[in-house]
Structure 1
Amino acid sequence: MSWLALCVLTLAIHAFAADVVYIGKPDDDSYTRRQIETASTFYGLNVNSSGSVPSLLSSISNPKTVAIIINAAMLPILDSKQVFALMRHRAQPVSLLIAGIDDSTDTGALKQWSLGAVTGSRKLDTAQADGQYEVGDVSEITRQLSNSTLPFNRGQIFYLVLTPTTVTRSIISAQVKSATLSVFARTTVMGQSVFFSTSQQPTEIPVTADPYRQQHLFAAIAAPMMFLRYAGGDKVWHSPGDYANLTIDDLWLREPYGHVNYEELLQQAQQHNFHATVAFIPWNFDRSQPAVVSLFKAHPDRLSICVHGNNHIHQEFGPFEEHPLEKQVEDIDQGLARMERFKELTGIPYAAVMVFPHSVAPRATFAALKDANFLATANSLNVPSDAAAPQGAEFALRTATLDFATFPSLRRYSAENDIPRPQLAIDAFLGNPMLFYVHESFFASGIGAFNRTADTVNQIQPDTHWRNLGDIVHHLYLEKLRDDGNFDIRSYSASIEITNTHHRDASFYIEKKEDFSSPLVVLIDGQPYPYQKTGRILWLQVPISNGATRQVEVKYGREMNLASIDISKHSIKIAAIRFLSDFRDNEVSDTHLGRWFIRSHVAYRTAWNAGAAIIVLFIALFLVIGYRYRNRRASKRKQVFALPGKIQSK
């Protein structure tokens, strides 16, 4: 690509983001403004807040402006009629949010800007345990969050005093004991949608690796997140679809495996609309039963395979002190070679998505997976074992992250525990893929054990696509409409499929975070394609005809000859571990006591292992003492029997 073409591409990528006009005081560093900036950045919107008030007001007429936000402290200064006139004269409608309302906000101004729908704001001191936020059912705004609840994050709230009208709707309310207090509402003024949100007490919520952090973090910015998603429409980052998957760890293709009967599982998946992936241990590559293989081949829309370690020994991809990186790379390569052999033997494809055995791996293992061209890794935590969770909403509110070796790491939920419905509703609202996992013992209560979770997901988002993990990773990107009619794409995967569903030919401007630590090549539909490198971002422009699909891939690292890798099972230790694991899943788990032992051993593995070691030590000590005692007794008997002989000899 020529230097001029690269410059044109750079300008094209950066010049077409939509704007949010924010009008506040010149020295505004309020918590309200920080919330707006966080939500805007999350959605890929620019916040236009610099310059004089007249210049900001003139920006309302700019076609790039998708939303107007006015800090409530500015209401007495501004002319509401002027603002509404500027809004009405636009070719495209634009929404207005008046944010940061508290008990000091001018009540006369509130009445004027709302035509009497909002008459004031009051403060209520409350303990966090006293209540919760309730999201109303205003479907075009609340979307999948309709009728959900969100947690309190603070000890006081400001709420709106509303006058009931036919055009005024409360969107979020604080439910405190028996009181329902609106904190986010919408009305219509002169034909324009006007939103009102109250000020929130500043709250610092640490971002951790815990996936359930999401509810508190989202609750702190719920109002601007809902407003900007509504106001921005297709011009904010959004997912191309809604995806979900259930993965069952440790199984291989025998019927049944523990409490999993594949025929019955398939029936449940068809009746309750879900997809089940087996996290398959590559060591089992040559053990599949023909009937189960035929079932998987006949129903790829409901049953699939991904990769679960290699030998699945304890902490196989754990700390390098016990499992050096070189050995982990060997396991990655051997695991891939075994999975290729599995595909040859069965005809069943597999997704090169790694589910780590027991716990998530260190950061360098992520880089090794990337170098081996794995698609992604999916685990209960999406942060490597030797890393800290990145701060910020981008990481905290997304299922996937590229923050570690720029390799896709996805979080998933254990369906063996209750998953709060609001957690799933937030994921659906944000367009996050919802990934669940269980083990065979989960189905001890019946093969329909997952049905309730699947039904909840399908109720929250009826258009959910239940797919295998490979398909989900191939659609792991966000898109947004540009002002020039083309589309920006933010990819979280090195392999994506983009379908142009927009009823016209268009160019797609693709960005992906990259560390460029190893050689790479970009392929479009299997053919090399030029790209631009800007810092840690890989850019390219791809034209796609109406209705067409194009495959965009980034290939990394070393050449691998999988056929030359030894896939034999020569380790007696590993064979014994796999035999005992199968015995555990197929025999021990048949009883309540056995399942309790398995759960306890998984949760308290170190304690159980220490206890077992102590028991073995006591047994060994007992045997040694017993052996020595027995020898001593035998020695005394010999002496006693020898005495008469000695006397006679005298």
Structure 2
Amino acid sequence: MPAQALASRARLFSALERAHGVRFVATEPDSMEDLDAAIAFPPAQPASRGPLPLLIYSGRHPGPEQTATVVFGDGDGLDGRLRGQRLAERQTSVLTGRTLAAGEQLLASCGGSPAWVRQGPLQEVAGAPDELEPGEPLRSRVRAGRFLEVLALVHFLRQLPSVQPWDQPPLRASLVFDDPNLRSRVYGHIDYQELAVHARRHGYHAAVASIPLDYRSIDPGAAALFRENPAQLSLAIHGNNHERMELLRTGDYEAARSLGAQALRRTARIESRFGLQVSRVMCAPHEVCSDVMMRAMFRLGFEALTIEPLLSYPPEQSWGAGLDGFECARIGGGGLPVIPRYPLSADLDDLTLRAFLNLPLVVYGHHADVKDGLDAVLPVVDRINGLGRVSWLSLSRIARSSHLAWRKGSQLRVRMHSLLAQVPVPDGVERLLVELPHLGSVPADELELRFDGRAVPIEMGGDRSAHAVLPLATGAGTARLEVASAGAERYQDVAPPARRIWPVLRRATTEARDRVAPLRHRITG
């Protein structure tokens, strides 16, 4: 309310509807019957403030400075990941002329003035969110430096009894180093033995994203360090040859499948020879990947792509989808889950906001980021570990845990943002309803769902949704769910690309540069 507030923010509320399974309707302050909750924008002043949950936006009243620190309270009414946090906000607003009334809880303050308060079912927050720009993702409004207006709305929606109570994945994290290989126990500024010890001491997991081209030569001692320290170290896939923009410029499907299959063949070879396990997660070189490449990877057996979301959001790009970066994984081109990742240099405040949004905290860097020692990662690691109980995992385990669950009576509803999941089934559950949010990226007839290894029929909904209803035997324990392509291909059967000397020469040059970097750093300081 007022009715114009909904009409003028159609894209914003449409994204929130899809994210939270709610429906917004336009109303006026004197007509709030049959509502589960209400949201008031200026100049609306609701006449009744009874038991109905109500969020009131005060309008923008600038704080003491253009950029200031928002200090969250520590009471039970606030999400635990926000309690006590101090985050910089560029669009600071405060509730002018306000002091806390009796029984009122301070949820957030700015410059010593209340910015978000709660009393019973009533909440009031400073500011008022604007409409999303065409193609702008909702995540851009809950990001370091700009968050409070939409964060308060998301928090309000989550607490409504009528909102679907999805069980989210646990707080998960992984620290990724791009490029290092296992030709020796040391690559550039990274010593794998020291990395394992450091990760164990400070409580984190490091995933090394290696280039499959480099798998031609592996040091047995380096491989042993990864086998013996699975809680601290893991491997993932970083391109194939690591040529410039190789995952983006591969616009032809045949070339894409050839490249992806070669990466998997090279990976399987070192797994078999050295007893290693490599996550079937592609860490995109240069943070780019085409839809055609994603489609090929899905069909070949990759479990996910992890990539830094684009900062721009041109409406003609698929990356501008309203919930891109807002869900634990986006379903990309061809049906491949896309897990967002961010550089070590990113604003630390965004870690708190990503945790609040239930996003995996995948942070990536390169060996040069630790040229002065591994303690360079501790600001990120300590910030993450300070957010609560964190599961530090390999990228494969993060990809496989990206699903939501919601039990209602004897039915367990599961929403798959992963391709492979082991779903615990509580006692008393008699059937699964599995939701597949893939249809924006892949036609329904290209999808297959497998339950404990056998294919099950997929039913279509009228809103381009897809689901499957699976009856369960008593005491099922765990259900193994797998989403696959009906056009799946064995990577072993795909012909490799034509041999070229340039990728080998280019990689030899960049690896030599990386390996002499510590010496150069000691000489130049």
TM superposition score category, shorter chain reference: 0.7 to 0.9
1:499 is the counterpart of 2:424: yes
How far apart, in 2, do the equivalents of 1:250 and 1:381 lie? 20
Q: CA deviation at 1:449?
A: 2.8
Q: Which residue of 2 aligns with 1:298?
A: 228
Aligned with 1:452 (options 360, 379, 383): 379
CA distance in 2, matches of 1:355, 1:163: 48
What does 1:388-403 align with in structure 2 at a 5 Å threshold? 388=317, 390-391=319-320, 394-398=323-327, 400-403=329-332
Residue 271 of structure 1 is matched in structure 2 by 201
Name the count of aligned residue pairs.
Answer: 517
Q: How does 1:196-235 map to 2 (within 5 A)?
A: 196-198=124-126, 200=128, 202=130, 204=132, 214-215=143-144, 218-232=147-161, 235=164
1:468 aligns with 2:398: no
Q: Deviations over 1:368-389 (max 9, x none)?
A: 2122231111122369999626
Deviation at 1:73?
6.5
Contact 2:104 2:117 in 1 (8 A): yes
| Kept after mapping to 1: 8 A contact 2:29/2:44 | no
**Residues in 2 aligned to 1:71 and 1:481: alpha-carbon distance in whole angstroms:** 34
Name the stretch that deviates more: 69-78 or 533-542: 69-78
User: In the alignment, what sits opposite 1:369?
Assistant: 297
Q: Residue type matched to 2:54 in 1?
A: L
Residue 148 of structure 1, CA deviation: 3.0
In 2, distance between residues paired with 1:211 and 1:71?
21
CA deviation after TM superposition for structure 1 residue 31, in Å: 6.5
Higher helix share: 1
Q: Which amino acid aligns with 1:475?
A: S
Report SS of the residue matched to 2:277: coil
Q: 1:33-83 CA deviation, whole Å, 9 max, x = no partner?
A: 9867754542222346679978x54x47xxxx5x555678776643x5xx4
The CA deviation at 1:233 is 9.2
Q: Is the contact made by 1:239 and 1:432 (CA closer than 8 Å) also made in structure 2?
A: no
Q: Quote the offset at 1:457 in angstroms.
A: 0.3
CA offset at residue 143 of structure 1?
Answer: 2.1
Q: 1:212, CA displacement in angstroms?
A: 7.2
Alignment match, 2:243: 313
Partner of 1:430: 357
Q: Which residue of 2 aligns with 1:148?
A: 85
Offset at 1:464?
Answer: 1.2
* Counterpart position of 2:484: 555
The structural deviation recorded for 1:473 is 0.9
CA separation of 1:355/1:284 partners in 2, compared to 1, >3 Å: closer, same or farther? Answer: same
Deviation at 1:542, TM superposition (A): 3.5
Secondary structure (helix, strand or coil) at the match of 2:213 reads helix
Structure 2 letter corresponding to 1:97: L
Write out aligned runs for 1:302-381 (5 A): 302-320=232-250, 324-381=252-309
Q: CA deviation at 1:408?
A: 1.4
Aligned pairs for 1:155-170 (under 5 A) are 158-159=95-96, 161-165=98-102, 167-170=103-106
Determine which of 262, 281, 297 is the counterpart of 2:211: 281
One-letter amino acid of the counterpart of residue 187, structure 2: Y
Question: Which residue of the partner structure matches residue 54 of structure 2?
Answer: 97
Which structure has more relative contact order (CA 8 Å, sep 6+)? It is: 2
- Contact 1:477-1:496 within 8 A present in 2 as well: yes
How far apart, in 1, do the equivalents of 2:10 and 2:498 lie?
60
Amino acid at match of 1:146: R
The Cα offsets for residues 488-533 of structure 1, whole Å up to 9 and x where unpaired, read as 3322222222223x56425432212232276442211212222213
TM-score by length of 2: 0.85
How far, CA to CA, are the matches of 2:13 and 2:95 in structure 1? 18
Task: For 1:498, give the aligned amino acid.
Answer: V
Secondary structure of 2:107's aligned partner: strand
Greater CA deviation, 530-539 or 558-567? 558-567
1:479 is matched with which residue: 401, 405, 422? 405
Q: Aligned-residue CA RMSD in angstroms? A: 3.8
**Aligned counterpart in structure 1 of residue 107 of structure 2, from 171, 174, 181:** 171
Q: Residues of 2 paired with 1:546 and 1:31: CA distance?
A: 50
Displacement of 1:185 in angstroms is: 0.8
* 1:261 equivalent in alignment to 2:196: no
Shift of 1:578: 2.6
Tell me, yes or no, if structure 1 residue 43 matches structure 2 residue 12: no
Unaligned 5+ segments in structure 2 are: none
- Are 1:576 and 2:521 an aligned pair? no
Deviations 1:152-196 (A, max 9, x none): 56586554623443x321112232xxxx222321124xxxx4323
| Structure 1 pair 589–46 and aligned structure 2 pair: CA distance change class (3 A) | same
- Map residues 532-547 of structure 1 onto 2, 5 A cutoff: 532-534=459-461, 536-542=464-470
Please name the residue that 2:435 is paired with: 511
Query: How far apart, CA to CA, are the structure 1 residues paired with 2:113 and 2:7?
Result: 23
How much does 1:569 deviate? 10
For residues 69 and 163 of structure 1, what CA distance do their matches in structure 2 show? 21
Distance 1:543 1:499, change over 3 A: farther
User: Are 1:525 and 2:452 counterparts?
Assistant: yes
CA distance in 2, matches of 1:404, 1:32: 28
Aligned pair in 2 of structure 1 residues 437, 159: CA closer, same or farther (>3 Å)?
A: same
Instruction: Report if aligned partners of 1:128, 1:152 keep a CA contact under 8 Å in 2.
Output: no
Quickly say closer, same or farther: Cα 1:173–1:238, change in 2 above 3 A. farther
The one-letter code of the counterpart of 2:519 is D
Deviation at 1:218, TM superposition (A): 3.4
Q: Which residue of 2 aligns with 1:645?
A: none
* In 2, Cα distance between equivalents of 1:446 and 1:311: 28
- TM-score w.r.t. structure 1 length? 0.70
Q: Distance in 2 between matches of 1:485 and 1:185?
A: 38
Q: How many Å apart are 1:308 and its aligned residue? A: 1.3
Q: What is the CA-CA distance between 1:561 and the residue it aligns to?
A: 4.5
Taking only the aligned residue pairs, the percentage that are identical comes to 20
